[in-house]
């Protein structure tokens, strides 16, 4: 009897704790190409096509390159690298990674995820618009290429059919058919945000279709996401190059390119130019949202993420600049066609891509073919960014509750619930006044101040709480060589300075939000936008208070303990740190090191 007990003890000591068969593993990328292409899809989206050229147009043309390049070097690339390396080192999503590295700032993960939820609800509207244009591209004649439709006004100017056009002397008081199609057919835009209007059922159906496609792109996790990115991340570049070649060969294109490149130095004194440059970097690089941390967490521990991040950032900025050439070459043609100043051609932000590009494809041979290809490109660009955001949410949820979400079809069901709720909330954005609400959310919640503050907290928590030198050493352990020291100094000094300075600058020079430079948002609308932004950012201090209240010991002891990574806290109990384990075993921070004492197994990070 005694011998039997001894045998059982030895058997239990040699075997790891039983794992249910239905509990699925976390998974990794099938290849490095999957990681590169998925990140490309996440950071290169419709914003590169319409947002960057629009910001150049609004902020004095080529002068915008100066603050943009400065923010790219001092904030964009260092923070992009920081987030990716953080995910790769911890092998955790953007919530649990902070629990491991710096528990005091765990609220940053929840704040970024709330912003992702708002962004996912609003961002997908662009895809719905693109689907609407795509379906109408199969018409015998593109409906935005000519006048004479029920939505056109008497001032519609149709160069292709002179008998339907106004006299050439009246061009300054006319509008192009593509503009009237966008405002009067697609949006049926109301007079302001206070006038919601009726639901645009055609756009609502396109919105539902977008969510269905997005769901099935990611319902199996990175296995389906990585494979889909081979097509969705590469095809848009082919179409962008074709449209660029067509644009620069149009008459008057050089005038638009000169306006795009010629800098107005006086605009550098405008704080909005610097604010737009910084937020464009944070928005287009997907900084502060947790995308990069989640995607990087599926890398192998020794992946050279430093080189990957550097080239991905350059590719993102190059795509934005090339898109600007494609946009402004067509703008120059349109001004030559209509006989007005280039600043009067297009006035709306996201609508720039739905005014200029449709006009460009309408002038090509076989316009239906080019229209289908272009809007398919917009859809693929949007879907990439959209399903990466949702994948980030699901990654964090499964990392928080692995025992629950990695069984059966629970992950698929919770993803279905998230998509359904976001789709229902998005219906208010496809009303006649939805465009005003979309612009409000984009300005206050999904970019601007929120991303600046998140980036500030992120750099401070890593550089000053966890330690820039320590994190720099962790990265050296992973990739096998020391990155350029500028990264460390940017995290510690330069990035926080630029983020905080831009934030203060924007508050001092604050002006009420406008739409199309003509409509000024009412006070209550601005208050609503700031309230939504504050709700997400308030999660950071709320979690700090929550963690301190739940801690043990004096207030100072609680605070110091929450500022330490989990492995150091365990080191006080006599266990080896994960940093030491990584040096010998070359494994990520999240690996479960088990010590056997008798027949008992201890998991370091089990809470």
What span, in angstroms and rounded, lies between the C-alpha atoms of 463 and 409? 40
Residue 274 has a pLDDT of 81
Q: Does residue 604 surpass a pLDDT of 60?
A: no
Q: Does residue 606 surpass a pLDDT of 50?
A: no
Whole-number percent of the chain with pLDDT over 70 = 84
Q: Does residue 601 surpass a pLDDT of 60?
A: no
Residue 509 has a pLDDT of 75
* Span of 32-41, 274-283, 388-397 with lowest mean pLDDT: 274-283
Residues 391-400: pLDDT tens digits? 888 888 888 8
Tell me how far apart the 2 most distant CA atoms of the chain are, in Å. Answer: 108
Contact present, 354 and 184 (Cβ < 8 Å): no
Q: Does residue 473 surpass a pLDDT of 60?
A: yes
How high is the mean pLDDT of the chain? 81
Strand, helix or coil for residue 444 = helix
What span, in angstroms and rounded, lies between the C-alpha atoms of 224 and 222? 5
Residue 350 has a pLDDT of 66
Radius of gyration of the chain (CA): 26
**Confidence band of 264 (pLDDT split at 50, 70, 90):** confident
Contact present, 256 and 335 (Cβ < 8 Å): yes
* Span of 67-76, 289-298, 300-309, 514-523 with lowest mean pLDDT: 514-523
* Span of 135-149, 356-370, 416-430, 483-497 with lowest mean pLDDT: 356-370
Average pLDDT over residues 192-205: 92
Q: Does residue 224 surpass a pLDDT of 90?
A: no
Q: How far is CA 535 from CA 306, 321, 373, 531, 554, in A?
A: 34, 34, 40, 6, 30
H/E run at residue 601? strand 600-603
Dihedral sign for Cα atoms in the order 120, 42, 218, 300: negative
Residues 530-586: pLDDT tens digits? 898 899 999 999 999 999 998 888 888 998 888 888 764 333 333 333 333 333 334
Q: What is this structure's pTM?
A: 0.83
Average pLDDT over residues 295-318: 93
Whole-number percent of the chain with pLDDT over 90 = 32
CB atoms under 10 Å from CB of 275, counted, come to 22
CB atoms under 10 Å from CB of 364, counted, come to 16
Give the residue, 27 or 218, on which the prediction is more confident.
218
Residue 77 has a pLDDT of 95
* Span of 76-80, 204-208, 499-503 with lowest mean pLDDT: 499-503
End-to-end CA distance of the chain: give it in Å, rounded: 37
Torsion of CA 17, 18, 24, 25, to 10 degrees: 30
Residue 579 has a pLDDT of 38
**Confidence band of 165 (pLDDT split at 50, 70, 90):** very low
- Please return the burial class of 166, using the count of CB atoms within 10 Å of its CB with bins 0-12, 13-18 and 19+: middle
* Span of 126-130, 363-367, 383-387, 489-493 with lowest mean pLDDT: 363-367
Q: Does residue 303 surpass a pLDDT of 70?
A: yes
Residue 159 has a pLDDT of 62
Helices and strands, number each (H, E), in the chain? 30, 4
- Using H for helix, E for strand and C for coil, what is the string for 131-163? HHHHHHCCCCCCCCCCCCCCCCCCCECCCCCHH
Give the residue, 33 or 60, on which the prediction is more confident.
33
What span, in angstroms and rounded, lies between the C-alpha atoms of 374 and 368? 10
Q: How far is CA 368 from CA 110, 203, 571, in A?
A: 44, 21, 66
Q: Does residue 588 surpass a pLDDT of 80?
A: no
The structure tokens listed for 325 are 């050439």
């Amino acid at each position: 009897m005694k011998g039997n007990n001894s045998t059982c003890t030895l058997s239990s000591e040699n075997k790891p704790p039983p794992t249910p068969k239905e509990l699925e593993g976390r998974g990794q990328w099938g290849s490095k190409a999957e990681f590169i292409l998925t990140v490309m899809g996440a950071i290169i989206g419709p914003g590169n096509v319409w947002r960057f050229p629009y910001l150049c147009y609004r902020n004095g043309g080529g002068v915008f390159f100066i603050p943009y390049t400065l923010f790219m070097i001092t904030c964009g690339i260092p923070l992009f690298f920081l987030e990716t390396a953080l995910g790769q080192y911890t092998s955790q999503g953007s919530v649990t990674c902070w629990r491991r590295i710096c528990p005091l700032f765990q609220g940053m993960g929840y704040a970024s995820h709330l912003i992702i939820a708002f962004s996912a609800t609003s961002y997908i509207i662009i895809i719905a618009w693109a689907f609407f244009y795509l379906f109408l591209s199969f018409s015998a004649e593109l409906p935005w290429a000519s006048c004479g439709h029920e939505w056109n006004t008497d001032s519609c100017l149709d160069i292709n059919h002179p008998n339907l056009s106004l006299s050439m002397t009246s061009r300054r008081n006319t509008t192009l058919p593509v503009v009237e199609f966008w405002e009067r057919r697609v949006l049926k835009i109301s007079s302001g945000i206070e006038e919601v209007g009726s639901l645009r059922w055609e756009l609502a159906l396109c919105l539902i279709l977008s969510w269905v496609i997005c769901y099935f792109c990611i319902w199996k996790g990175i296995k389906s996401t990585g494979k889909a990115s081979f097509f969705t991340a590469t095809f848009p570049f082919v179409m962008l190059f074709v449209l660029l070649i067509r644009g620069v060969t149009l008459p008057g294109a050089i005038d638009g390119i000169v306006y795009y490149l010629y800098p107005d130095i006086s605009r550098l004194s405008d704080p909005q130019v610097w604010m737009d440059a910084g937020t464009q970097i944070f928005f287009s690089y997907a900084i502060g949202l947790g995308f990069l941390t989640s995607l990087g967490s599926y890398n192998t521990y020794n992946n050279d993420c430093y080189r990957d991040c550097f080239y991905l950032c350059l590719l993102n900025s190059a795509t934005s600049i090339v898109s600007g050439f494609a946009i402004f070459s067509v703008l120059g043609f349109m001004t030559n066609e209509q006989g007005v100043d280039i600043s009067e051609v297009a006035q709306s932000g996201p609508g720039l891509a739905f005014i200029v590009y449709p006009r460009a494809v309408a002038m090509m041979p076989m316009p239906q073919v080019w229209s289908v290809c272009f809007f398919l490109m917009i859809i693929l660009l949007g879907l990439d960014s959209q399903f990466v955001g949702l994948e980030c949410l699901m990654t964090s949820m499964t990392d928080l509750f692995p025992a629950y979400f990695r069984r059966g079809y629970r992950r698929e069901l919770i993803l279905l619930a998230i998509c359904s709720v976001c789709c229902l909330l998005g219906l208010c954005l496809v009303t006649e006044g939805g465009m005003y609400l979309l612009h409000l959310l984009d300005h206050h919640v999904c970019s601007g101040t929120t991303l600046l503050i998140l980036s500030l907290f992120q750099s401070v928590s890593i550089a000053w709480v966890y330690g820039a030198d320590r994190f720099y050493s962790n990265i050296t352990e992973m990739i096998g060589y020391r990155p350029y020291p500028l990264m460390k100094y940017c995290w510690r000094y330069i990035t926080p300075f630029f983020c905080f300075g831009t934030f203060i600058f924007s508050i001092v020079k604050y002006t009420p939000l406008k739409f199309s430079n003509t409509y000024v948002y009412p006070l209550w609308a601005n208050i609503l936008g700031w309230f939504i932004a504050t709700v997400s950012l308030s999660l950071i201090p709320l979690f700090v208070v929550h963690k301190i209240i739940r801690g043990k010991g004096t207030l100072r002891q609680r605070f110091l303990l929450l500022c330490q990574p989990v492995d150091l806290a365990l080191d006080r109990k006599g266990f080896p740190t994960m940093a030491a384990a990584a040096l010998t075993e070359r494994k990520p921070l999240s690996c479960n090191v088990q010590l056997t004492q008798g027949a008992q197994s201890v998991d370091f990070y089990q809470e």
